[in-house]
Structure 1
Amino acid sequence: ADAVGVLGTGDRCAIGEVPGFKKPSALGHGGEAISVSVGSSRVLVLTGRTHLYEGHGTAPVVHGVRTAAALGCRVAVLTNGAGVLREDWTIGEPVMISDHINLTGHSPMTGDNPPAPFAGRFVDLTDAYSKRLRAIARGASPMNEGVYLGLHGPHYETPAEIRAGRSWGADLVGMSTVLEVIAARHVGLEVLALSLPTNLAAGISPTPLSGEEVIAVGKRSAARAGEVLRSVLSAIDAAGHAG
């Protein structure tokens, strides 16, 4: 949430007061929806998210991106903090997600077919993370790119799970984002996702994992993350929308 300050001030409200939203309960997550301007674009900023591990099911997890699409948003820029499986990457330096592996065991498309005019349940994820947006972001702020492994949580992963993830090509691991990306693509949003590596993953880190460590790294890296976010959003605004 602290990194959002670089985008300026705007109209805001508490997320928990908006129908359909749950008040974020995860450590380090804010609870506001803020409307700001970036260049000629209006940007809806949600400073916190609902995680699958909070036990409310998938609908509240993806309510934010669905609401954004209903309000007229055409691009979703998702952010997260993540464990990193790459020892050559710098903790606290933002990276870009190029693809994901969904091991949450869930999908926001489970259930009845969505009503018209929405597309059916079978969402194509071939280009889930927009190549166009990644190229724009790369030009605005060069950064590493990698594959995000999404797990259910809230417990941290085991070293064996991390070894398996490495063998599948994962570079990052976390407990969010993948369901939101699926829902965003279903409603036609173009997606970019940025991740802040907050710790080495289990079995790679020489110390036990803790939420406190994640929060501390996030706070130390807030200024840098905000700088990257502002640069990327400004570049997307300057480039215009797809189509």
Structure 2
Amino acid sequence: MLRLVTRIVTAALALCGAPAFAASVNDFPKARIAIVGGTFMNDALLKRKDLIKGSFKIKTKVGESPTIYACESGGVPFYYVHGHGEGKWVETWAALYDLGVRDAIGGATAGGINKSMKLYDYVVPDDFIDMNVDRPLAMPLVVYRDPNAIPLPRYTPAMDPLLRQILIEETREALRASHDYDDIQIHEQGVVIQARGGRFETAAEIRMFATWGADLVTMNVGTEMAYARMMGINYASLVAISNPAEGVGEWEWDTLKNVYPRLNPLSLRIVLATLPRIAAIGDDVPRVGDGLRMHPEMTSEPTAH
């Protein structure tokens, strides 16, 4: 389904004259922050020609990257990748790694399994369950700069706490800024389960996911959470509830038609508001992923002190 949606959106963007000008990465300021788009924003950023300075692709060791947009907001340069990488899951994260990205914000829309997560609510997940069955479970070894330093990461915590806190605070601030959003709540934690995609889940699958402790279900962010840490990129995601999960409540296709125009521009404003704060995080600030990425050497020899 994501591939179909991506093709439709791409065609629509071409018709409406969205920026598609290609250049070299060297033509733009180097960025250390990336936004990885999804249905929580759809085409909202691509419509903002004031943000986009140009676009490029790079060759990675696993193939050509998707289109990467060089953008700037509030004096902060950042890269934008549309639609989770438009099917180039591995190439996207290999490219962000090669570009030297330090922090990434992703997101999605999701079905609410936990009944407290209502339509239009935002969730900043703190854990994930990955039911991916058709994407590589790990980044290929060839992408790493040091063949002797291949990560076997832990995911407790699963997301970067600093980025999560910034997202929570900026989401709360955006919701408080207008009474138009009085019906929207922010959930500061939640377990997101990534289903395999290609179709919506069955009610029986949702009941099973609920027994596992999942609060919401989507199709892509689990992969992003896994790959980001493997690549040494700090990551957090902003997820909007677009519908009750199957069997949890009633919804129609028109439900989604109402969600996107309301939440896509709001999600973009929230994410853009995080950028100066993310950019201000010093390189000397310890990041949780740094201590969770590398497995100790597998040897019977005692560790030298």
**Range class of TM-score, shorter chain:** 0.7 to 0.9
Q: In structure 2, how many angstroms separate the alpha carbons of the residues matched to 1:221 and 1:115?
A: 37
Give the Å deviation of 1:14: 7.0
Matched, 1:83 2:83: no
Q: Give 3-state SS (helix, strand or coil) of 2:91's partner.
A: helix
- Write the letter of the residue equivalent to 2:83: G
Q: In structure 1, how many angstroms separate the alpha carbons of the residues matched to 2:51 and 2:241?
A: 27
Q: Decide whether aligned partners of structure 1 residues 35 and 89 sit closer, same or farther in structure 2, where only a CA change above 3 A counts.
A: same
Q: In structure 1, how many angstroms separate the alpha carbons of the residues matched to 2:230 and 2:59?
A: 26
User: Equivalent residue for 1:33?
Assistant: 68
Give the Å deviation of 1:49: 2.6
Are 1:150 and 1:174, in contact at CA under 8 Å, matched by a contact in 2? yes
Q: Give 3-state SS (helix, strand or coil) of 1:3's partner.
A: coil
User: Equivalent residue for 2:227?
Assistant: 183
Identity of aligned residues (%): 22
Are 1:114 and 1:121, in contact at CA under 8 Å, matched by a contact in 2? no
User: Equivalent residue for 1:9?
Assistant: 51
Give the Å deviation of 1:91: 2.0
Cα offsets for 1:121-147 (capped at 9, x unmatched): 522222330112112222333331211
Cα offsets for 1:214-236 (capped at 9, x unmatched): 35422231222122112222332
Matched, 1:155 2:199: yes
Q: Give 3-state SS (helix, strand or coil) of 1:138's partner.
A: helix
Give the Å deviation of 1:16: 11
Q: Give 3-state SS (helix, strand or coil) of 2:159's partner.
A: coil
- Write the letter of the residue equivalent to 1:147: V
**Aligned Cα root-mean-square deviation (Å):** 3.0
Are 2:197 and 2:219, in contact at CA under 8 Å, matched by a contact in 1? yes
Among residues 162, 165, 168, which one is paired with 1:132 in the alignment?
162
Q: Unmatched 5+ residue regions in structure 1?
A: 23-31, 55-59
User: Equivalent residue for 2:138?
Assistant: 109
TM-score norm. by structure 1 comes to 0.78
Please list, as runs of the form range in 1=range in 2, the aligned pairs for 1:38-49 lying within 5 A after superposition: 38-49=73-84
Q: Give 3-state SS (helix, strand or coil) of 2:117's partner.
A: coil
Give the Å deviation of 1:95: 2.0
Q: Decide whether aligned partners of structure 1 residues 175 and 189 sit closer, same or farther in structure 2, where only a CA change above 3 A counts.
A: same
- Write the letter of the residue equivalent to 1:157: E
Q: Give 3-state SS (helix, strand or coil) of 2:84's partner.
A: coil
Are 1:35 and 1:43, in contact at CA under 8 Å, matched by a contact in 2? yes
- Write the letter of the residue equivalent to 1:36: C
Q: In structure 2, how many angstroms separate the alpha carbons of the residues matched to 1:237 and 1:199?
A: 33
Q: Give 3-state SS (helix, strand or coil) of 1:206's partner.
A: coil
Q: Which has the higher contact order (CA 8 A, sep 6+)?
A: 1
User: Equivalent residue for 2:243?
Assistant: 199
Q: In structure 2, how many angstroms separate the alpha carbons of the residues matched to 1:68 and 1:110?
A: 13
TM-score norm. by structure 2 comes to 0.64
Q: Unmatched 5+ residue regions in structure 2?
A: 1-41, 173-185, 287-305
User: Equivalent residue for 2:183?
Assistant: none
Are 1:99 and 1:128, in contact at CA under 8 Å, matched by a contact in 2? yes
Give the Å deviation of 1:120: 2.1
User: Equivalent residue for 2:92?
Assistant: 64
- Write the letter of the residue equivalent to 1:188: G
Are 2:126 and 2:157, in contact at CA under 8 Å, matched by a contact in 1? no
Q: Decide whether aligned partners of structure 1 residues 172 and 240 sit closer, same or farther in structure 2, where only a CA change above 3 A counts.
A: farther
User: Equivalent residue for 1:232?
Assistant: 274
